[in-house]
Amino acid sequence: MKRKNIIHIGIVTILMPFATACKDFLKEDLKSQLAPTNTFTSTYGFEVGSAGLYAITRSEYNTFGEGGAYIHNGACPYEALQAATDLVEVINSDASLTAFANLTLTSEEKFVASYWNWAYSLISSANEILIYAENNKNWDEPSDKERFQAEARFFRAYAYRTLVYLFGDVPYVETILYDFQLNFTRTPKTEVVGHIIEDLKFASEHLPENPDEVKDGKLTKWAAYHLLSEMYLSKGENALAEQAALAVINSGYYSLMKTRYGVNKDNPGDVFSDLFIENNQNRQSHGNKESIWVLQFEFNTVGGGTNSDDWTRRAWIPKYNEISGFVLADTLGGRGLAQIVPMKWWVGTKGTNATGDIAGIFDATDIRNSNYNIKRNWYYNNIDNVSLNGKKSNITDQTWLSTKTLYPTPTKFFYGRGENLSLTGSYKDRMKFRLAETYLLLAEADLGQGKTSSAAEAINEVRRRAGASPITSADVTMDFLLDERIRELAGEESRRFTLVRTNKLIERVKKYNNAIKDKIQDRDALWPIPQTIIDANRDAEFPQNPGYGK
């Protein structure tokens, strides 16, 4: 059942000032007379509502529709959170990312509004469940009420996390608004973060504990603790961030995957590459003990992915098939559009030593830099082109930064199916939180307390799995930790969020992003408030973020 089938018209009113660009989203579609008043009357009804929260959350990756619960109406919205950082080149890319890449954002930009709308859509639905759960008396189990409220509060916190990272001060709403409100005010970011933390604390107390007793993709308290650690870091409460991260690490349920596993274990590869093979992401069905929270995008599955979901593959993979001698292949990741391109400083350059390779920021022994994980060797694969088939196609500055047809590419986003190699969606479950990041959050918390030896040990736990050389306390700096997050989490984390949280965005962009190093300024730490919000809020002043006009 689509999530919009259970939206109450009163809940939608909170979003009407925020979502004028997406009119279809506001339409009631109450099939079989489903509405909150007759849906949220039993545990089963709340299960339906809960499924809606997961659907909206997944739709952060939705592009042009096809059954998604929300629509950005543009290519690769999630990669806007990688643009204008220290990670990728985006200049001269897809038009939907151009303004983010070259710092020409305005309050009219499409994804600026759609991210705002997506977050408040999730918040309004979470608030709806919270209010109706408080009044419902018909539960199958006594713990059902707190369980559904814990899920709702997690998702509300998750949505507000996005809002404060992108916009700073935003309206905090925790109830159902049955009437139009045209006098919203911006709640200070510090206050919103305080609410996020309270929601996550509640979720950590009432979500299920044992990940082996929940379905793939469902939340447990450990996902709440993981996110709680991050949000404590954003508030500068490092000791509490350390405690939250340790709660996950010491829970006894999770461990880094250190030996080959899953569907590809008997084929060439390594354990890091195994993490990103289709059907290797989940705990229950795939045996992945590292995953803490996984978004479900399975192929040809009810409730799974569509062609309009998760275009990360298209963004990262080069347009190799435009080179004579190449044809689309699932082993090469399927169809890529090179909407974002890895920067040389971290992924490496070509032809500068005897072997022709420089490892960038990787140790020589680091498996995260192996050709199973960053593809640098590309071989012509068109069997009809006898003169080229099987020969190596060289990466050059032109193929990397001009035509974007060939460059070193993280394979974690490879996806292709023989029956349709032009598929747009990835149809691969996405690990949203995994234990390796929890260790890096712990390291950040320890570093913030001056506990560099403990921070080094947390980082080394991740590096040992990768086969990288261990570090000492003298090596631990915020810049080293940010580099380590690239080595481990490139493309998985929202790089903008990480750099904003650590107050390193402008510094790192000036150091590594040559395209905009002379353009970035303080204002670019935030996106502008969507103009539709300011215009609709006519009964109270709703100031624009500094540097973006009125």
Residue 139, number of CB atoms within 10 A of its CB: 16
Give 287's strand partners: none
pLDDT digit string (tens) for the chain, length 550 residues: 333 333 332 233 333 333 333 333 333 343 445 688 888 999 999 999 999 999 999 999 999 888 767 789 988 899 999 999 999 999 766 788 999 999 999 999 999 999 999 999 999 999 999 999 999 999 999 999 999 999 999 999 999 999 999 999 999 999 887 666 788 999 999 999 999 999 999 999 999 999 999 999 999 999 999 999 999 999 999 999 999 999 999 999 999 999 999 999 999 999 999 999 999 999 999 999 999 999 999 888 877 888 889 999 999 999 999 999 999 999 999 999 999 999 999 998 654 444 456 669 999 999 999 999 999 999 999 999 999 999 999 999 999 999 999 999 999 999 988 888 888 888 999 999 999 999 999 999 999 999 999 999 999 999 999 999 999 999 999 999 999 999 999 999 999 999 999 999 999 999 999 999 999 999 999 999 999 999 999 899 999 999 998 6
In a domain, 284, yes or no: yes
> How would you class 254 by CB atoms within 10 Å of its CB: exposed for 0-12, middle for 13-18, buried for 19 or more?
buried
Give 170's strand partners: 187
Provide the number of structural domains found in the chain: 1
In a domain, 196, yes or no: no
CA distance 197 to 179: 28
pLDDT at residue 350, rounded to an integer: 55
In a domain, 460, yes or no: yes
pLDDT at residue 417, rounded to an integer: 83
In a domain, 471, yes or no: yes
CA distance 66 to 175: 30
Which residue pairs, CB below 8 angstroms and at least 24 apart, start in 500-503? 500/165, 500/525, 501/165, 501/230, 501/233, 501/234, 502/444, 502/478
Contacts of 251 (CB under 8 A, 6+ apart): 222
In a domain, 291, yes or no: yes
Q: How many alpha carbons fall within 13 Å on the CB side of residue 398? A: 3
The residue assigned the tokens 């080595």 is 487
Phi, psi of 497, rounded to the nearest 5 degrees: -60, -45
CA distance 514 to 507: 12
In a domain, 222, yes or no: yes
What does each C-alpha distance from 325 to 359, 379, 386, 391, 393 come to in angstroms?
27, 9, 9, 9, 9
Rounded to 5°, the CA angle 292-256-56 comes to 20
Nearest 10 degrees: Cα torsion 303, 304, 307, 312:
130
CATH number at residue 233: 1.25.40.10
Which residues constitute the domain of residue 453?
Answer: 208-311+424-476
In a domain, 288, yes or no: yes
Q: Which helix (H) or strand (E) holds 38?
A: helix 36-39
Give 410's strand partners: 374
CA distance 210 to 70: 31
pLDDT at residue 2, rounded to an integer: 33
In a domain, 390, yes or no: no
What is the pTM assigned to this prediction? 0.92
